[in-house]
């Protein structure tokens, strides 16, 4: 049983190790930036950031016996503002036909777009390679974001976005960036990615307006547009199963596809429940059984103290507005009998 909780300043060393595995805009391999992310997350969880749409929530997964941080995930309440717009390429087709030479072509076209009042974004998901596949930690870290959004629905937008990672070269380069972005900015993919964390103005000023015909790229790059890398195939399948769809949009840096869904229609959010913790416990070794005991992600939240949010994956039984849990889950949550629990199915 893993514990998922709100990130703390003391998690910085463990988070830095995780970031070295991913190193993206949402989880950069940079101690100063990670400290800033942890600080903003703490101020988001405790409400010191007054505007809910300026908040960002970082969740960490802890292996309880060792206390080791083995994973993380993130919610950005609104991705895309007037100061830092959400930037993307729309991907669509255009047809051309010449009657005089009887030639017909269908071209894939990219067109840059900006969103100044953007959706909620989920990102920053990474799991320590040593723990992948042991108890589905990645799925737990993904689902905990839907649980938290369901708990605090007014704090989040009506659409949720996820930007999936594409296939990159072994040295970390993006083929699309080399063919397009570098030519218009003079920057490497890593430098542009790093710069964009604090400043997106250069993209608006240097990228070409209007349409770019993907036909001009190599066949390899054309085929990669909108496709996910091997490490994102499982995430895409999971997201598709619960309601996400490809937006026909890609990241302007690496060509990774954007998937989104209406918040209210995402399956875990739609099936969100609240209940009180029953005094009665499920017996040790209880297993899921249809119509009686099922597997869920269960959380508690407190308004005071350093650790505001805790969640675990556990078997449970909902009976008469009460939730019965194993003692091990109650201890991990540090919950008290009668305390309000928040829960979504984990299927």
* pLDDT per position as a tens digit, 36-66: 999 999 999 999 999 999 999 999 999 988 8
Beta-bridged to residue 142, according to DSSP, are none
d(CA 244, CA 159): 10
pLDDT, tens digit (0-9, with 9 covering 90-100), for 265-310: 999 999 999 999 999 999 988 888 877 899 999 999 998 877 899 9
Residue partners of 303: CB distance under 8 A and separation at least 6:
none
Whole-model pTM: value is 0.93
Average pLDDT of the residues of the chain: 91
| Residue 189 near residue 252, CB atoms below 8 Å | no
Tens digit of pLDDT for each residue in 194-243?
Answer: 787 777 788 888 988 889 999 999 998 898 898 998 888 989 999 999 99
Domains annotated for the chain, with CATH where assigned, are 80-117+166-242+249-254 (no CATH), 271-345 (2.40.40)
How far is it, in rounded angstroms, from Cα 206 to Cα 273?
A: 48
Is the CB of residue 325 less than 8 Å from the CB of residue 277?
A: yes
Under DSSP, is residue 24 helix (H, G, I), strand (E, B) or coil?
Answer: coil
- Identify the CA nearest to 105 among candidates 94, 116, 92, 96: 96
Bridge partners (DSSP) of residue 171 are none
For residue 286, count other CB atoms closer than 10 A to its CB.
Answer: 17
Task: Give me the residues paired with residue 298 across strands.
Answer: 312, 343
The angle subtended at Cα 64 by Cα 58 and Cα 66, nearest 5°, is: 105
Residue of 201, 75, 93 lying closest to 145 (CA atoms): 75
Amino acid 129: pLDDT = 86
Contacts of 278 (CB under 8 A, 6+ apart): 319, 322, 323, 324, 325, 337
For the stretch 198-217, what's the b/e string if a residue is b when 16 or more beta carbons lie within 10 angstroms of its beta carbon? eebeebeeebeeeebebeeb
Q: Between 306 and 166, where is the model more confident? A: 166
- What's the CA gap between 56 and 74, in Å, rounded? 7
Residue 140: the pLDDT is 96
């Amino acid at each position: 049983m893993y514990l998922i909780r709100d990130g703390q300043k003391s998690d910085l060393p463990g988070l830095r190790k995780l970031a070295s595995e991913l190193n993206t805009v949402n989880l950069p391999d940079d101690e100063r930036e990670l400290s800033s992310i942890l600080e903003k997350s703490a101020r988001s969880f405790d409400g010191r950031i007054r505007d809910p749409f300026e908040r960002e929530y970082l969740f960490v997964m802890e292996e309880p016996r060792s206390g080791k941080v083995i994973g993380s995930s993130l919610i950005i309440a609104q991705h895309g503002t007037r100061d830092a717009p959400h930037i993307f390429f729309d991907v669509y087709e255009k047809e051309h036909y010449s009657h005089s030479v009887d030639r017909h072509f269908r071209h894939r076209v990219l067109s840059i777009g900006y969103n100044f009042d953007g959706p909620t974004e989920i990102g920053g998901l990474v799991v320590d390679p040593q723990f992948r596949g042991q108890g589905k930690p990645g799925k737990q870290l993904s689902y905990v974001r839907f649980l938290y959004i369901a708990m605090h629905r007014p704090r989040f937008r009506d659409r949720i976005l996820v930007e999936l990672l594409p296939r990159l070269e072994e040295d970390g380069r993006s083929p699309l960036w080399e063919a397009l972005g570098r030519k218009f900015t003079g920057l490497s993919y890593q430098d542009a990615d790093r710069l964009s964390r604090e400043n997106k103005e250069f993209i608006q000023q240097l990228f070409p307006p209007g349409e770019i015909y993907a036909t001009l790229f190599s066949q390899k790059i054309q085929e990669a547009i909108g496709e996910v890398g091997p490490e994102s195939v499982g995430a895409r399948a999971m997201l598709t199963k619960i309601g996400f769809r490809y937006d026909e949009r890609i990241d302007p840096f690496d060509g990774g596809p954007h998937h989104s869904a209406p918040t209210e229609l995402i399956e875990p959010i739609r099936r969100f429940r609240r209940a009180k913790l029953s005094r009665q416990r499920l017996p040790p070794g209880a297993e899921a059984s249809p119509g009686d005991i099922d597997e869920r992600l269960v959380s508690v939240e407190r308004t005071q103290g350093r650790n505001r949010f805790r969640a675990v994956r556990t078997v449970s039984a909902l009976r008469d507005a009460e939730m019965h849990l194993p003692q091990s889950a109650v201890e991990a949550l540090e919950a008290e009998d009668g305390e309000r629990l928040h829960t979504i199915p984990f299927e």
